[in-house]
Amino acid sequence: MPRGPRFVFQNAFYHVFNRGINKQPIFLKEKDYQFFLNKLLDLKNKKKYDHSIYAFCLMPNHFHISIHTRKTPISKIMASLTTSYSMYFNRTNNHFGPVFQNRFKSILIESDSYFLQLSQYIYLNPVKAKITHDPILYPYSSIKEALGKEPLKFLDEDIVRLIGDTKGSQKQYEKFIYDGIKEDHTELAKLFEKEEAVLGSDRFSTLAKKKYLRRRYKNNA
């Protein structure tokens, strides 16, 4: 059965996620993480797809990225990233066949407040997985850039609009992240069980689904 079209908008925020096939590790050594990060940075610096990154975290068997697209569809950006990494992974780790489990999953995000909610989820992944007790100690996320503890490299400068550029606002955001350690994220995690989802107001969700249905009808006509 052919897959339907994604929720595709210009100037849209997405939270994208993918894991290794059969939940197997996709990062086996430091070099693997660095290749993925270099590719992520290369795509940003070349501005080939005109997109921005607002948060990411690479886990041993999956990754999370918060991304803002403009004219280029999210599927094209992610295909470039994951295809390049899959070819590298197979070549250097003597692996054959697919690296990732199906196509990536995506959550269409309505606004800044929903971005903040998902960014908390992203940065607490290593803590929830008991890899570290402190999210800022985890080396494969953008949390230090987001908190102003490192210069912006991966993240778009507009992150200061979402979080703030003063020490006070960054401290508030840091507190927000750490407060999430004691929270239950079960309901939020359910979004990643779907191939795609919408996180926003009822009105936003309804409009997104109407557009999806129109595109699906057009493609099947």
The helix or strand, by DSSP H or E, that contains position 161, with its residue range, turns out to be helix 159-163
Domains in the chain and their CATH numbers? 12-195 (3.30.70.1290)
Distance CA 50, CA 194 (A): 27
Higher pLDDT, 96 or 57: 57
- The pLDDT value given to residue 198: 65
Q: 15: helix, coil or strand?
A: strand
Residues 33 and 27: beta-carbon distance below 8 Å: yes
Instruction: Give the per-residue pLDDT at 34.
Output: 97
pLDDT in tens, 192-203: 776 666 665 555
Q: Which residues, 6+ apart, have CB-to-CB distance to 172 below 8 Å?
A: 164
Residues 6+ apart with CB under 8 A from 91: none
Confidence of residue 5 (pLDDT cuts 50, 70, 90): very low
pLDDT of 138 over the 70 cut? yes
The pair of three-digit structure tokens given for residue 69, joined into one six-digit string = 């697209």
Share of the chain above pLDDT 90, in %: 50
pLDDT of amino acid 105:
86
Could you report the per-residue pLDDT of 100-134, keeping only the tens digit for each?
987 788 888 776 667 888 899 999 999 999 999 99
66 or 2, greater pLDDT: 66
The rounded distance, in Å, linking the Cα atoms of 206 and 201 is 9
Whole-number pLDDT of residue 118 = 87
Higher pLDDT, residue 7 or 58: 58
- Amino acid sitting at position 108: L
In sequence order, what are the residues at sequence separation of 6 or more whose Cβ sits closer than 8 angstroms to the Cβ of residue 149?
Answer: 136
pLDDT category of residue 41 using cuts at 50, 70 and 90: very high
Residue 10's pLDDT is: 64
What integer pLDDT is reported at residue 145 of this predicted model?
A: 94
Report how far residue 92's alpha carbon sits from residue 110's, in angstroms, rounded to the nearest whole number.
Answer: 39
| Percent of the chain residues past pLDDT 70, beyond the cut | 80
DSSP state of 102: S
